[in-house]
Amino acid sequence: TQLLEQSPQFLSIQEGENLTVYCNSSSVFSSLQWYRQEPGEGPVLLVTVVTGGEVKKLKRLTFQFGDARKDSSLHITAAQPGDTGLYLCAGFYDKVIFGPGTSLSVIP
């Protein structure tokens, strides 16, 4: 049983479109992290959200932590081919756990 669920599993969109991916859990987390993993590379941290309801922006990426601290979303505006990759959310339970990821492909 996955403590962290992510949706959608796969997403293929055209350059310039907007998209939202989700990270959900039945457990409360003190914080959630989002990582991006490019093919052939290790994951790289994008952001950490720690307060329920918190919204953080990183250029065209907007991250939100749910009020109950059980879910998070990542919204990308005007997606670009460089956004292609696997987006992983991670939370600390008794140790760090990762969700299964959303594989995003942005087609030029």
Which chain residues interact with other proteins by CB under 8 A?
29-31, 33, 40-45, 48, 50, 88, 91-92, 95-101
Nearer residue to other proteins within complex by CB, 79 or 102? 102
Nearer residue to other proteins within complex by CB, 13 or 100? 100
Using the structure block, give the residue that is written with the tokens 């081919």: 81
Residue-wise over 6-27: b if at least 16 C-beta within 10 A, else e? beeeebebeeeeebebbbbbee
Nearer residue to other proteins within complex by CB, 22 or 98? 98
Rounded least distance, CB 101 to other proteins, Å? 6
Rounded least distance, CB 65 to other proteins, Å? 12
